[in-house]
């Protein structure tokens, strides 16, 4: 821990004593934040659901969601620069709106920290059954959560290094699947990216505004997590620029990876079918 020191540029009434050492590089923060977003999980779970419901409209919905997420990410980046403290959302809300509002934000954040990792662990456990049919998806999810917890308490820099290796594998999978799809793409389908259609009534039907907005909600969920960079802001070097770069950089990588995979999925009927039928969670 470093010696307490106020943060320059912050009003005196809102300054805080620096308590954590800034050992985390911007690249490490970006890696951890991108892992929170989980591009591969978003593509194969949320993206598959969007393709099944919105058809080729999933691409346009995810583009709109990317624009909205970009605006929110700028706000997160500014807040992270102004209040570079550990805790993220609840720490910022407590300093801006008071302790009661901060406590409500803490409860919300804790609920998300329980629900989101559990959902992703169950989805990963479901996909593991493809290579190990005898394993129970729920048992696999528990093992993955235990491993993630052990990794989290091993130290921030070690955590970032291991996460970087796993994230590289994750992005490689997206690139390989996308490359295979491009090699078999039917470019006559490209027009449906901007003039979306979905299956309905036994054939293709135009995607209405209500269905498109539902896809935007899915897209926002697929990109969610970029605000996690603020949680590590007190440990990030050069917080006045580093936190902003981590927030915007993580969102940028996630948007490119997910839009690429969804565009390729629309371009090739086989890949689109496989993504759409991939179950996120299977009830036993």
Sequence ranges of the domains in the chain: 22-86+157-185+208-277
- Which stretch of 20-24, 105-109, 151-155, 234-238 has the lowest confidence by average pLDDT? 20-24
Choose between 116 and 97: higher pLDDT: 97
Q: What is the pLDDT of residue 275?
A: 44
Mean pLDDT check: name the lowest of 19-33, 68-82, 131-145.
19-33
- Asked if pLDDT for residue 189 goes beyond 70, the answer is no
Q: Report the pLDDT averaged over residues 249-267.
A: 90
Which of 13-27, 114-128, 264-278 ranks highest by mean pLDDT? 114-128
Q: Is the pLDDT of residue 184 over 80?
A: no
**CA distances from residue 122 to 18, 112, 151, 217 in whole angstroms, order as listed:** 38, 15, 18, 21
Higher pLDDT, 85 or 118: 118
Residue 220, pLDDT > 90, answer yes
What is the per-residue pLDDT for 194? 74
Burial class (CB in 10 A: 0-12, 13-18, 19+), 227: buried
At residue 204, the pLDDT reads 67
Average pLDDT of the segment spanning 3-23: 57
**Is the model more confident about 161 or about 275?**
161
Q: Is the pLDDT of residue 254 over 80?
A: yes
Measure Cα distances from 71 to 162, 227, 274 in Å.
Answer: 30, 12, 32
Indicate the pLDDT class of residue 21, thresholds 50, 70 and 90: low
Most confident of 18-27, 94-103, 232-241: 94-103
Q: Where are the alpha helices (DSSP H) in 19-98?
A: 26-37, 39-41, 48-54, 57-82, 89-97
Q: Which segments of 96-217 are extended strands (E)?
A: 197-200, 203-206
Strand, coil or helix: what is 18? coil
Is pLDDT of 8 > 70?
no
Q: What percent of the chain lies above the pLDDT cut of 70? A: 83
Q: What would the pLDDT profile of 109-135 be if each residue is shown by its tens digit?
A: 888 888 878 887 888 888 788 888 888
Q: What is the mean pLDDT of the chain?
A: 80
Instruction: Report the alpha-carbon distance of residue 61 to residue 72 in Å, rounded.
Output: 17
274 confidence band (pLDDT: 50, 70, 90): very low
| Intra-chain end-to-end CA distance of the chain, in Å | 47
Give the per-residue pLDDT at 200: 62
pLDDT at 14: 54
pLDDT at 259: 92
């Amino acid at each position: 821990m470093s010696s307490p020191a106020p943060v320059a540029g912050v009003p005196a009434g809102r300054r805080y004593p620096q308590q954590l050492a800034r050992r985390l590089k911007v690249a490490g923060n970006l890696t951890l934040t991108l892992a929170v977003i989980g591009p591969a999980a978003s593509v194969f779970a949320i993206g598959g659901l969007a393709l099944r419901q919105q058809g080729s409209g999933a691409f346009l919905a995810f583009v709109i969601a990317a624009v909205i997420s970009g605006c929110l990410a700028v706000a997160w980046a500014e807040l992270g620069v102004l209040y570079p403290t550990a805790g993220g959302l609840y720490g910022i809300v407590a300093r801006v709106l008071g302790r009661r509002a901060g406590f409500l934000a803490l409860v919300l954040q804790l609920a998300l920290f329980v629900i989101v990792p559990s959902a992703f662990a169950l989805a990963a456990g479901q996909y593991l059954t493809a290579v190990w049919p005898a394993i129970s998806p729920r048992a696999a999810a528990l093992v993955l959560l235990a491993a993630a917890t052990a990794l989290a308490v091993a130290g921030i820099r070690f955590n970032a290094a291991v996460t970087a290796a796993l994230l590289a594998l994750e992005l490689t999978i997206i690139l390989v699947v996308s490359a295979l799809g491009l090699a078999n793409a039917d470019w006559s389908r490209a027009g449906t990216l901007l003039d979306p259609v979905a299956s309905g009534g036994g054939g293709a039907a135009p995607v209405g505004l209500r269905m498109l907005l539902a896809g935007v909600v899915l897209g926002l969920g697929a990109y969610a997590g970029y605000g996690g960079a603020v949680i590590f802001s007190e440990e990030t070097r050069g917080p006045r620029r580093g936190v902003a770069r981590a927030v915007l950089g993580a969102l940028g990588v996630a948007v490119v990876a997910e839009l690429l995979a969804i565009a390729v999925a629309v371009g090739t009927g086989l890949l689109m079918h496989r993504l759409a039928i991939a179950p996120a969670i299977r009830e036993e």
